[in-house]
Amino acid sequence: MTEYRKRAEAYRLALMAGLVEPKEVIAWAREATTGDKKGDPALKEIAAGDSLSATAVAELLGKVKGSVDSQALVRDLFGAMHRALRTDPAKAAHITQVLERLAHAGIAPDSAAEVRMWAYEELRQLAEGGPPGTMKKLHEELEQFLKTYAPFGDD
């Protein structure tokens, strides 16, 4: 059951960040509950809900029984964003939008990170129209920020 809880929390965070669609989570819930008569009630409700909104699915995912270290999952998400940014600097726009959505949902490694998460999207928009080198500086700062909160520095 804890494995379902861990996956449910990962999907909840991804939904809130706009990284997955409800239909993907519904498909997983169906697979997880097929043939399981004593399955988790929240998972069964998700599996039966073709027209559930992202918010409704996220709320139900939060009710899946079991335990999980949500902060570890947040750090894993930061690690994934850090790797994506290092691989493709053009992903900075998407990453700053995800950080803003996460901050809006109250999902942050700590309060200092949350303040910075709110600011990055606006800073990115300003940097795009700024003098040469502004985007490069923002990219470097964003990469360092993500690395700080990624598991094991994500080296």
pLDDT per position as a tens digit, 29-81: 999 998 877 789 999 999 999 899 999 999 999 999 998 888 888 888 898 88
What is the pTM (predicted TM-score) of this model?
Answer: 0.71
Tokens of 96: 């700053």
Angle at the Cα of 98 (from 65 to 27), degrees rounded to 5? 45
Nearest to 78 by CA among 8, 27, 145: 145
